[in-house]
A and B are shown apart, each in its own frame.
Chain A
Amino acid sequence: MNPVRAGVLAGLTVAAAAAVEFGPLVLSVPGGLLLAFVLPGLALIEAIFRPGRRDLGMVERAVLVPSLSLTVLVLGGLALWSAGGHLNRVSWMLVCAVTTLVTIGVAFYRALHAPAPAPASAATAPRGLSQERLIKDVLPLTLAVLLLAGAGVWSFADSVDTYDLTVSTLSAGQPGQAGADGNRPVQVSASGLPPAEGPYRVVLSGAAGAELGRQSITPGADGNWTGRLTVPGDERVTVRLFRGAETAAFRTLIIAAAP
């Protein structure tokens, strides 16, 4: 690894670590992706394989970079936790960044003490972006990426539009202990109630169907409401939520009698 390459890699590692630790999402995402999938693997390859020898082909190098990077993430995390460490953003960032910097140092040291590499093979990529390459490679690949991106974004939006529903719920917590009057308090909550579809009311009825009470409720702007109801402790009580002028209950709860 020559000094320029080592310097660039080390600088990138420090920048990625800083972005992860201090940057907003727009910086921490690329920084985190580099630390998780790229930089440790790149440095490890440089350190493991002897400078000047091309033991790895292009394909192998391409697949080893993320493989070794994730190995650092997983085995490094395992080692850190085994040593009593806590796995959080800082510790994982340090595991990846320190490993990368140390292996860059090892690769640099080996390069200093290794014989000069053989000249590169005659099979080299053409320099620059020729018009032929633009048409033959860049244009179709750009088209492919745009198609995939378009399909992905549209699929995501369609799925969210299709499945994202506002769910209206009525729920009850565990009833409290019965008081001296034999009644128990119970916390009842409702959510997902569009104010426009109101007014809403809660009706309590006993086991025989007799109405025990009713209460109008006004959900907040977020569609939620919560309140404490008092129900007889020795009777099975049904709590019905009605919406607007509807005569059938919108949601129903049943509170069993105290044992």
Chain B
Amino acid sequence: MGDQPTSDGERTPEEATAKAAEPRPEPDEPGTGDAPAAGPADSGAAATTEEPTAAEEPAAAEEPPAPAEPAVSAEDTAVIRLPGAPAVDDTVLITLPGPPSIDDTVLITLPKKPVGEDTVIIRLPDKATAAKKQAGEDTVIIRLPGAKPKGAKALTTARKRAAGDDTVIIRLPQAPQKKAAGRAVVSEPPIEDTVLLQLPAEPKPEPRTALDLGWAPWVLALSSLGVVLVALAYAGGRHETGWAMTAYWAGQVIVFSPVVFRLLSRLAGVAESFVLVMGLAANQYMLKWMYSPDQFRFPDELQHWLATTLIAESGDLFRQNNALPPAVHFPGLAEMGAGLSLLTGLPVTGAGTIVAAVAHLMFVGLLFAAVLRASNSPAMAGVACVTYATAMHYLFFNSMFLYATAALPYFMLTVWAHRRWRTGGGARFLALAALGIAMTTVSHHVTAFALVATLLLLSLTELALERPRPWETLIPPALALAVVCCWIGFVAQDVVAYLEAPLGRLASSLDQMFGGAAAEEGGPTKPVPLAQLAVQGLGILGLLVLYLAVARDMILRKDRDTWRWAALVGGAAFFAGNGARFLGSGGPEIAGRLSTFTYVPMSIIAAIAIVHAVRIVPPKDENGRRWLSVPPPGVAVTTGRRLTNQVYIGTTLITLLMIGARTGGWPPVSALLPGPYLAAAYERSVDDFGVDAARWQERNLPRESRVGGDITAVALSSTYGRIDPVREVGELYYATSWTPAEQTIVRQLAIDYLVVDERLGDLLPSDNAYFQDDPMAGRITEPLSDTQLGKFDKAAAISRVYDNGTVRIYRMEPS
């Protein structure tokens, strides 16, 4: 993905883009790293980057510089700054390395030094080629820095430019003394293939500072209006108003799309892009938090609330947590929450909310940092981040107070540190990677496995593409594998059994699909609405098109950038993971969880395609080949109408992906808004009746009591109630009378208490099942009957020991 130019310790990406107008050396100088390597990720910005020296960037210097290709800039606009001092020679010589593209794209290589006075000379490479150009293809637009306002010119076309704008338009068909638009005058070429431009004197453009926030504050203010709209929608949902859903979708789009639009305009520098991305992440976290601001309601969050509370109360790690036993041995999140709660004096819920927010922002920031280092393009880093924000689980699961939320930033930290180490950052970055591996391992099992796989992928691609083979690249994956194996082998042995069940289901589904095994008995699942399917399908299709375009581009360019290839392989894993949606009832959940990791490379691929406008339908070459035509070298510098179209189309596509993620992610469409109680609907099922029953259990029942109930009751009893939950109790509730068969089940499962919510008799379950491992899953056509719910009151050996008018608790008496 290009290489960062800044690990030389002299210039950071911010400084590189802040000095955007400096003329740069010839690209074929040694020590240019992989920035000029052929490929779309070398964001097209020759004038804005400074490469590391060979002495200070040994790893980067090993990469062979690509011949005759321009180095690239953080923005897709070639920026030429004339030397400021009047006495200094202020002419820039621009040599076109090949024929101009047939569209409004020109590749410009800046020479070592400027010559002449107030003049840009463009040498046309080949008169014969130039003669082939058609009308409309004869314009080169060179954008000069110091725009005022800086952000306003992205979407203007050549025709709209007026005097005072800082864009020079050069018409290539040479006519003597032809006056071009604006302030540039094209004079007779001094030699046959040269166009000479005389630039009028103008004030020195204001340099961009490293902390220039551009339009980010105003864009974020607009985005915050969307947050207010969603807050209104949530309130409307709580009070069951009709307009709430409209306000919700309008708010979601207003929160998201302005940021995407601004990032896609490619005018934002590092600081502006970073502020935009972090502001969007903060705003989207607000959307998650405002759903249930006063307490955790999602069962998994409650499980980690208990784990945190146990540490805060006892001062011990690895205390038994019946709600989620494997989480005991991955205490990263719980330590963060307990530590913050103890240090600040805040309740665990407040501390957990802050920890989840910080972890979420850290993850986004580290993703931005990693892509920025890899591409040296704030536009690419920003677009990758906003594309990742359309992942299915991004808004809720990856922002919740869950152990994966704590592990994800360290997953990304390790990837970033690995990148810095491999590009000559030194051993300190390897040490940071080791810290990241340790933190990921003690925080979440699946993320730790994904980290091992990711590091292995990065190493293998490097080994496959680099000569001589850099065997030291295997150190991080080997270290990660060793740490993860040691942790699971010595500390978290129970995670093997915990993961066996879902892996078994996955294997069973694969066997049914490919091996012809008989399908498990199960009812039909609730059909997904057609509109929802269409939105999600269009989004995935759009991503597939972008993926194939980038893949074609890389293959035909004979791209050898290791990170781009790793991203391409990871993107393929994303599509394979989406196939898991069709693997039985657990398929969508597996696909969603996989996408948390596989969507990272997919987002990078999408960003490459969108930012660099990789040709989806390439033009025919001179041999009449379209799909096998070799893309022009270097990176397209897109301007004018084409850039305008890209911004609009890109914003539309990413917004579509976001809408697809909201409809297919969490919460489900039926519970997108908070509101009154729904049966077996996770967050929507937690209210004071259930919580009070659970609190009563915590105060009155022994910790070893085994309590059964529906999905919500079990979640609350095992967390607020702190008892031992029994989940597979559906048969006891579906029975119409209490018989010895039910007594046998009670004995077998060693059940002490059952929680019965009488609302199960009024409402159908939102997710096809009232209970975990529900024997009637997918076949429930009517709520539980009074007979089914009332049989507990008639059984001689059962006492009703708690009643709050809605929830009852029954004690199984010894018979």
Residues of A within 8 A of B (CB): 20, 25, 28-29, 31-33, 35-37, 48-50, 53-60, 62-64, 66-68, 70-71, 73-75, 77-78, 81, 86-89, 91-93, 96, 118, 121-126, 136-141, 143-145, 147-148, 150-152, 154-156, 158-160, 162-165, 167-173, 192, 236, 250-257, 259
A-B contact pairs, 30 of them (CB 8 A): A25-B345, A36-B339, A36-B343, A54-B12, A58-B211, A58-B274, A60-B369, A70-B358, A70-B439, A74-B442, A74-B443, A81-B316, A88-B342, A118-B10, A123-B15, A125-B211, A136-B217, A140-B221, A144-B217, A147-B225, A148-B286, A158-B235, A163-B688, A169-B802, A192-B804, A251-B805, A254-B793, A256-B796, A256-B813, A259-B813
Compute how far the CA of A86 lies from the CA of B314 in the bound complex, rounded to whole angstroms.
8
Known contacts A57-B6, A167-B689, A171-B802, A32 near B340 by CB under 8 Å: yes
CB < 8 Å neighbour of B294 from A139, A163, A172, A256: A163
Closest to B231 in A: A151
Could you tell me if A32 and B210 are in contact, using CB atoms closer than 8 angstroms?
no
Q: Which 5 A-B pairs have the closest CB atoms?
A: A32-B344, A32-B343, A57-B12, A63-B365, A140-B217
Known contacts A71-B435, A155-B235, A256-B796, A167 near B692 by CB under 8 Å: yes
CB neighbours of B342 from chain A (8 A): 32, 87-89, 92
Could you tell me if B221 and A155 are in contact, using CB atoms closer than 8 angstroms?
no
Could you tell me if B10 and A123 are in contact, using CB atoms closer than 8 angstroms?
no
B594 an interface residue at 8 Å Cβ cutoff?
no
Indicate with 1 or 0, residue by residue over B785-815, a CB within 8 angstroms of chain A CB atoms.
0000000010011111111110001010111
Which positions 675-692 of chain B face chain A at CB distance < 8 Å? 687-689, 692
Known contacts A78-B317, A121-B11, A167-B689, A96 near B343 by CB under 8 Å: yes
Could you tell me if A144 and B228 are in contact, using CB atoms closer than 8 angstroms?
no
Could you tell me if A88 and B315 are in contact, using CB atoms closer than 8 angstroms?
yes
Which positions 244-298 of chain B face chain A at CB distance < 8 Å? 270-271, 274, 279, 282-283, 286, 289-290, 292-294
CB neighbours of B369 from chain A (8 A): 57, 59-60, 63
B358 to chain A, nearest CB (A): 6
B498 an interface residue at 8 Å Cβ cutoff?
no
CB < 8 Å neighbour of A28 from B223, B345, B811: B345
CB neighbours of B290 from chain A (8 A): 151-152, 155
Dominant SS among interface residues on chain B? helix
Most buried by B among A96, A118, A123, A143: A123
Compute how far the CA of A150 lies from the CA of B235 in the bound complex, rounded to whole angstroms.
13
Residues of B in contact, count (CB < 8 Å) = 108
Could you tell me if B339 and A81 are in contact, using CB atoms closer than 8 angstroms?
no
Known contacts A54-B11, A78-B335, A92-B343, A159 near B293 by CB under 8 Å: yes
Indicate with 1 or 0, residue by residue over B324-367, a CB within 8 angstroms of chain A CB atoms.
00000001100110111011111000000010001101100110
Dominant SS among interface residues on chain A? helix
Could you tell me if A59 and B14 are in contact, using CB atoms closer than 8 angstroms?
yes
B220 an interface residue at 8 Å Cβ cutoff?
yes
Could you tell me if B801 and A253 are in contact, using CB atoms closer than 8 angstroms?
yes
Known contacts A58-B12, A58-B14, A147-B228, A67 near B413 by CB under 8 Å: yes
CB neighbours of A93 from chain B (8 A): 343
Compute how far the CA of A252 lies from the CA of B442 in the bound complex, rounded to whole angstroms.
48
CB neighbours of A167 from chain B (8 A): 688-689, 692, 804-805
B234 an interface residue at 8 Å Cβ cutoff?
yes
Compute how far the CA of A35 lies from the CA of B396 in the bound complex, rounded to whole angstroms.
27
Could you tell me if B294 and A59 are in contact, using CB atoms closer than 8 angstroms?
no
Most buried by A among B213, B339, B802: B339
Could you tell me if A59 and B210 are in contact, using CB atoms closer than 8 angstroms?
no
Compute how far the CA of A126 lies from the CA of B759 in the bound complex, rounded to whole angstroms.
63
Could you tell me if B9 and A29 are in contact, using CB atoms closer than 8 angstroms?
no
B438 an interface residue at 8 Å Cβ cutoff?
yes
Compute how far the CA of A255 lies from the CA of B481 in the bound complex, rounded to whole angstroms.
57
Could you tell me if A28 and B213 are in contact, using CB atoms closer than 8 angstroms?
no
CB neighbours of B798 from chain A (8 A): 254, 256
Could you tell me if A172 and B293 are in contact, using CB atoms closer than 8 angstroms?
no
Could you tell me if B220 and A123 are in contact, using CB atoms closer than 8 angstroms?
no
Could you tell me if A78 and B442 are in contact, using CB atoms closer than 8 angstroms?
yes
Could you tell me if B217 and A137 are in contact, using CB atoms closer than 8 angstroms?
yes
Could you tell me if A171 and B7 are in contact, using CB atoms closer than 8 angstroms?
no
CB neighbours of A137 from chain B (8 A): 213, 217
Could you tell me if B221 and A144 are in contact, using CB atoms closer than 8 angstroms?
yes
Compute how far the CA of A86 lies from the CA of B286 in the bound complex, rounded to whole angstroms.
35
CB neighbours of B346 from chain A (8 A): 25, 29, 32
CB neighbours of A126 from chain B (8 A): 209
Closest to B209 in A: A125
Compute how far the CA of A158 lies from the CA of B323 in the bound complex, rounded to whole angstroms.
30
CB neighbours of A154 from chain B (8 A): 231, 235
Closest to B802 in A: A171
CB < 8 Å neighbour of B220 from A37, A141, A259: A141
Known contacts A67-B410, A88-B342, A78 near B689 by CB under 8 Å: no
Query: 7 more A-B contacts (CB under 8 A) besides A48-B428, A123-B15, A253-B800?
Result: A59-B14, A70-B359, A75-B442, A124-B209, A144-B220, A172-B799, A259-B814
B296 to chain A, nearest CB (A): 12
CB < 8 Å neighbour of B803 from A57, A78, A150, A169: A169
Known contacts A53-B9, A63-B362, A160 near B294 by CB under 8 Å: yes
Could you tell me if A169 and B442 are in contact, using CB atoms closer than 8 angstroms?
no
Could you tell me if B696 and A169 are in contact, using CB atoms closer than 8 angstroms?
yes
Compute how far the CA of A20 lies from the CA of B340 in the bound complex, rounded to whole angstroms.
10
Compute how far the CA of A162 lies from the CA of B802 in the bound complex, rounded to whole angstroms.
24
Could you tell me if A140 and B218 are in contact, using CB atoms closer than 8 angstroms?
yes
Compute how far the CA of A66 lies from the CA of B332 in the bound complex, rounded to whole angstroms.
14
Compute how far the CA of A37 lies from the CA of B336 in the bound complex, rounded to whole angstroms.
10
Compute how far the CA of A31 lies from the CA of B342 in the bound complex, rounded to whole angstroms.
11
CB neighbours of A162 from chain B (8 A): 238-239
Compute how far the CA of A37 lies from the CA of B356 in the bound complex, rounded to whole angstroms.
12
Could you tell me if A86 and B13 are in contact, using CB atoms closer than 8 angstroms?
no
CB < 8 Å neighbour of A31 from B14, B289, B343, B362: B343
CB neighbours of A86 from chain B (8 A): 315-316
CB neighbours of B744 from chain A (8 A): none
